[in-house]
Amino acid sequence: MTAPPRVSSRAAELRRSAEQRLKAKTAATPLPLPLAPEDALELLHELQVHQIELEMQNEELRHARDELEASRDRYGMLYDFAPIGYFTLGRDGAIRTANLAGAALLGTGRARLIGRRFPLFVAATDRAAFADYFSQAFSGRQVQSCEVALAGGDGGPAVVQMEAALSGSGEECLVAVIDVSARKRAEEALRRLGGELEHKVAERTSELASSLERLKEEMAGRLEAVEELRKNEMLMIQQNRLAAMGEMLVNIAHQWRQPLNLLGLKVQEIGLTYELGGFSKELLDANVARAMDIVQHLSRTIDDFRDFSGPDKQNSQFSLNEALAKTVFLIRDNFSALGIAIKTDARGEPRIDGYPSQFSQVILNILANAKDAFLENRTEEPRITVRSWWEAGRAVVTITDNAGGIAEEILDKIFAPYFTTKELGKGTGIGLFMSKAIIEKNMRGQLTVRNVEGGAQFRIEV
């Protein structure tokens, strides 16, 4: 039997050891020689069939080996280029294999890793935890994971999650190492943000609470101020009332002087004529009658003043001209003593709804204002004209003075509460304010003012 011509030295080696094995075998059980020719032919045939079978087997084996090699290369690539780190560690912790990602994690070239102990790459603080985990993995328990910090890699210290599995032989441990630093940093950032947010919320809440507190205080302060203002207003109104009463007393004094004087003269005349001559029953009766007239007159003027300053009567319809005449009558003597002439010009018979005493108060306030202006400006020949008439379904009253008028810049302020141009203690600043309120709120009319030739003109429409 000759060997095939292109047989390799490896094949030659195989042949030699096969011949040796055959020699040993035939020594134990030698072939029955010589062989009959037909036996020899059959044997040859057998051998040829064997040879072909072996060649076929050999071919199959070679093929299987090629496939295995291709497969191994493929998995080797997958292993090397996997995005997570893989290590094979021995019982002593020595690194037996590592892929590229694993080497990058440890920050060392792959060639220099082999044989070095893995725990050296774990941060000192986590080494005990790693050792514990590693020994558990070798004890064959189920696949578990743990997180440790590495001592340092390309991107600085990294935190990794490890999952270890014991190899089939039990002599090696396969470890997958995943870099969770980014996730950790994100978690940390999130936790910090959460903390900051909480802090901010707490800060803002406390700010809001203190704002609320301040607002409450301010509100209380304002309520107090409003209350103070209301009290002040009451006081002002009270003062205005007292001032009006004082004014009334002056009016009464002036109005009563003449009748009282006359009453005195009439009474004295009785005694003097009795004493000096000329006394008679007729004179006595006449003087008593006259005295009683005067007493009646004085009594009536008390009623007039009381009507004016007394409490409000019912809302009623009243004659405008009558109310004006009564009011002017109340102050005429006082004004005439001051040299102020009052002219009235009443036309028609306007009747209006409202409170007569309040209406009188308004007229009196306006007249008193004119009087004060005359005194302040030392007006020569002071004069007031009160006109009233009926116009387009409304009663109109104008009160015009010649006291020089009101300065344009304060014309729109004179109805404001507490506004006064008078010296301290002389004006309350409430008279015209109340007048406007009475005419516009209580009587639904209008009270306006304007300057006319030489003075001011107040106009009431109701």
Partner 1 sequence: MAPPLTLLIVEDDEAAIGVLKTVIPKKFPGVAIHIAGNGPAGLEICKAHAPDIVITDINLPGMDGARMTEEIKSLRPDTRFIVITGYSDLAHLDRFRSIGISDYLLKPVKFNELFDAIERMSAPQ
Least Å distance between CB 338 and partner 1?
9
What share of residues in the chain are helix, strand, coil (percent, to 5)?
Answer: 60, 20, 25
Least Å distance between CB 346 and partner 1?
23
Cα 146 to Cα 180: distance, rounded to the nearest angstrom: 11
DSSP-assigned letters across all residues of 162-183: EEEEE-TTSSEEEEEEEE-HHH
Polymer length of the chain = 462
DSSP 87: E
Q: Which residues contact 258 (CB under 8 A, 6 or more apart)?
A: 333
The token pair at 190 is: 């999130």
Give whichever of 105 and 331 is closer to partner 1, judged by the CB atom.
331
Give whichever of 54 and 253 is closer to partner 1, judged by the CB atom.
253
Pairing of strands 85-90, 95-98: antiparallel
Give whichever of 205 and 268 is closer to partner 1, judged by the CB atom.
268
Least Å distance between CB 379 and partner 1?
15
Least Å distance between CB 292 and partner 1?
14
Q: Which among 96, 101, 147, 148 is positioned nearest to 121, based on CA atoms?
A: 148
Give whichever of 58 and 336 is closer to partner 1, judged by the CB atom.
336
Least Å distance between CB 336 and partner 1?
7
Query: Under DSSP, is residue 85 helix (H, G, I), strand (E, B) or coil?
Result: strand
Give whichever of 99 and 287 is closer to partner 1, judged by the CB atom.
287
Establish how many alpha carbons lie within 13 A of residue 141's alpha carbon, considering only the half-sphere containing its beta carbon: 10
Give whichever of 269 and 401 is closer to partner 1, judged by the CB atom.
269
Most distant CA atoms of the chain, gap in Å: 219
Give whichever of 265 and 288 is closer to partner 1, judged by the CB atom.
265
Contact 358, 312 (CB under 8 A): yes
Give whichever of 191 and 257 is closer to partner 1, judged by the CB atom.
257
Least Å distance between CB 231 and partner 1?
34
Least Å distance between CB 252 and partner 1?
11
Q: How far is CA 166 from the centre of its chain?
A: 63
Least Å distance between CB 342 and partner 1?
13
* Residues at the interface with partner 1 (CB under 8 A): 250, 253-254, 257-258, 260-266, 268-269, 272-273, 276-278, 290, 336-337, 339
Q: Which residues of 214-234 are buried (b: 16+ CB within 10 A; e: fewer)?
A: eeeeeeeeeeeeeeeeeeeee
Pairing of strands 394-401, 383-391: antiparallel
